[in-house]
A and B are shown apart, each in its own frame.
Chain A
Amino acid sequence: MTTLARTSTRQRQWRGAILAYLLVAPPLLLMVLLIFIPATQSIARTLTISVDGQPGFSFSRYAAFFSDPISVNNLLFTFQVTLLTLAVIFIVCFPLSLYLRFSTGRIASAVQILALFPLFVPGIILCYALIRFLGTRGTLDTLLSLVGITGYRTPYLKPEAIVIGLVWESIPFTVLVLTAGLRQVSDTLIESARDVGAGDWTIFRRIILPLIVRPALIVFSLNFLGIFGSYTIPYLLGPAAPQMMGVFMQQTFGQYRRPDDAETQAVITFLICAFVGFLYVRTVASQRLTREEE
């Protein structure tokens, strides 16, 4: 009787395990086939050169990339735009999320809807809307001159326009994650802090800030990945030079017809993003671990 029961339990465990693996298999296979293998091949290709018909190991393509001032400048430019955009995203979204977390009522829900609105606007439409809005003699220019401010310089086709476009596009996701993170800060915690005489600033610094670090890290890394490799907004709103890596790669591949160099640029971009991706994975994993411990 007991053996029977044991076998059936074991069978059930077996089945459960198989089912779990079956469920995990398709995305895992996709990852391996479509991402890991091609990426490894790419990296291997960029490290080999043909010497007298024989493949040899060489860093020469990377040396070429880093000794070319234009390539290096494009990479630095991508970093600058990405970090600046991230800074602005936090400046804009953090107060917004705090507001949405601690206020209720009609205005708050209206703000919530507004903050999520960019989620439903395709990037290319956004670009043309921003061109119309920010351009010389655009809506903003006209409004400013109505109130007597002249000498407006448009950000269109300048790095500033890329930052504006990317910030606008990143708001919904950032607000969603940050408010979700803030909801984990329980009201009772804050009330009890208040009871013992903590001021708003102390509550923010001692309770909210430490609890929001993880969602903030998640927002940082995921936004970084999206912005670093962005294409449409920098291409349509940004300057012809310097270029962000997404535009630069496409240009090198499609227009200059140098797939080898484009691949090198892609691998460099990939490695930078992989590093940030690793930060993200570590953050999420540590969150899981703490939950399990709890």
Chain B
Amino acid sequence: MKTRVLVFVLLALLAGVLSVSAQARTPIYVYTDSDTNISDWWTNTIIPAFEAEYPQYEVILTIVRGVGSGNADIAARALAALETGDDPQVDYFEQINVESVPAWLENDLFVEITPENVPNIANVLEATNRIPQEIPYRGSQVLLAYNSEFVAEDEVPTTYAELIEWIKAHPGQFVYNRPDRGGSGAAMVTRAIFEVTGRDPSKFVPGTPDPELVAQFPKAWELLGSIHESIYEKGAYPAGNTPVLELFANGSVNMITAWSDQALQAINRGLLPESTRLTQLQDLPFTGGYANSAIPTNAANLEGALALANFVLTPEIQRTVVEEIGGFPGVNWELLPAELQEQFTSVITDTVPVWPGGEYSAIMVEGWYNNVATNIDRNS
């Protein structure tokens, strides 16, 4: 009986000591609303690596995916706390669009990131087009995936014009999905629009569409219409990114447009043929985008948050962006291991065009359905 009490007291003491030592580590509250693959990657890779390097910090990851508006709600809370001077209880947003609510930037809710407070931000790619409050640390881009068993090395298209030629020369072997049903198909269509408007995505500014640009869209329909009969099954467009990957996986087609992360993950899981190769157009790449982290100015543990920001931009973590989540690094590829660069040499690009979306997308999608997917002439 006595020994039991003794053991119990000792255990209680031990627990007390442990909790005190745990408290000695300052918490960094991280919020994410990204998909499972991202939150898993944080839990299993980033956080253990960071805590090993910075034992004084403890990262507490809260997943708000699917809860209200996710991180936007947490940012709204941080803004309210900023006004009252309270603790926002958030130190780091894994991913947030800092421009989505004008009040955030107007009230300086987010820290401006400079090489002074986050040294590694200097390595971030120009192509990310970041504004000072953004920490672009992972990206993904639409690529061409092809089966090297059936597509010879020397006939792999390097420009959009060559891609169109290849599709015409190999009827039934290429497919992309309907532009409103997944970004990989949309990229094929928006790239046609970029092609006929002078390959300058910077002309496309979010907001009200420029009528002069829209007037040139019919040229893109003509271009895509010219390959309609050469698409899989004489113009059968699947309803999503995944059905396209499936057609590629079972050998129905030998070339597709695909999201880099979806394609890389499928390759890693053995879902795509081993002879799958990825490549990017050299004249102007397909569209893509970056996920940006941000740090609230009123973060209780600002120092820790800045250290974390710097840490996710180290080559060590940026490598895992490619290897574990199939994303693209936010930093210069040259900082990554040589063999990784070698492996991805054909997809590395320093331009990532962005499609403005919104009203532009409505016009793009409707134009495609009415002019490319069907052979009915609306004006006849």
Contacts and interface: CB of A to CB of B under 8 A. Distances in A.
B370 A136 contact: no
Contacts of B250: 135-138
Instruction: Decide if the interface of chain B is mainly helix, strand, loop or mixed.
Output: loop
Given A136-B247, A257-B362, A154 B233 contact: yes
B178 interface: yes
B378 A68 contact: yes
Contacts of A255: 180, 361-362, 365-366
Interface stretch (B61-69, B140-148, B238-246, B325-333): B238-246
B237 A69 contact: no
Given A240-B369, A256-B362, A136 B252 contact: yes
A135 B252 CA distance: 9
A68 B366 CA distance: 14
Nearest to B172: A136
Contacts of B239: 235-236, 240
A240 B240 CA distance: 11
A131 B370 contact: no
A132 B368 CA distance: 27
A17 to B, nearest CB: 49
Contacts of A239: 235-237, 373
A150 to B, nearest CB: 15
A27 B369 CA distance: 40
Interface centre among A68, A69, A154, A241, by most chain B C-beta atoms within 10 angstroms, is A241
B377 interface: yes
A251 B374 contact: no
Contact of A70 (B178, B235, B237, B374): B374
Contacts of A153: 233
Contacts of B362: 255-257
Contacts of A70: 370, 374, 376, 378
Contacts of A154: 233
B252 A137 contact: yes
B183 to A, nearest CB: 14
A156 interface: yes
A27 B237 CA distance: 42
A235 B238 CA distance: 9
B376 A157 contact: no
A257 B362 CA distance: 7
B248 to A, nearest CB: 11
A214 interface: no
A68 B374 CA distance: 13
Contact of B374 (A135, A138, A236, A241): A241
A136 B378 CA distance: 32
Contacts of B237: 157, 239-240
Contacts of A242: 374, 376
Interface string A207-249: 0000000000000000000000000000110011110000000
A254 to B, nearest CB: 8
B251 interface: yes
A239 B235 CA distance: 9
Contacts of B180: 251, 255
Nearest to B177: A240
Nearest to B178: A240
A183 interface: no
A69 B366 contact: no
A136 B250 CA distance: 8
B380 interface: yes
A256 B243 CA distance: 23
Interface string A133-177: 001111000000000000001101110000000000000000000
Nearest to B359: A257
A226 B238 CA distance: 24
Interface in B146-176: none
A251 B369 CA distance: 10
A240 B225 CA distance: 14
B369 A241 contact: yes
Given A70-B378, A157-B233, A257-B362, A241 B252 contact: no
A182 B375 CA distance: 46
A73 interface: yes
A154 B233 CA distance: 8
Contacts of B376: 69-70, 73, 241-242
Given A70-B370, A158-B236, A131 B243 contact: yes
A256 B366 contact: yes
B59 to A, nearest CB: 38
Interface string B340-380: 00000000000000000001011001100110011011101
Given A68-B378, A69-B378, A135-B247, A240 B373 contact: yes
Interface centre among B178, B239, B378, by most chain A C-beta atoms within 10 angstroms, is B239
B377 A69 contact: yes
Given A136-B252, A137-B251, A256-B365, A156 B236 contact: yes
26 contacts: A68-B378, A69-B376, A69-B377, A70-B370, A70-B378, A131-B246, A135-B246, A135-B247, A135-B252, A136-B247, A137-B251, A137-B252, A154-B233, A157-B236, A157-B238, A158-B233, A158-B236, A235-B239, A236-B239, A239-B235, A239-B373, A240-B369, A241-B373, A255-B361, A255-B365, A256-B366
> What are the nearest 3 A-B pairs in CB distance?
A157-B236, A241-B374, A136-B252
Interface of A: 68-70, 73, 131, 135-138, 153-154, 156-158, 235-236, 239-242, 251, 255-257
Interface of B: 178, 180, 233, 235-239, 243, 246-247, 250-252, 359, 361-362, 365-366, 369-370, 373-374, 376-378, 380
Given A136-B252, A240-B239, A255-B366, 4 more contacts: A70-B376, A157-B236, A240-B236, A257-B359
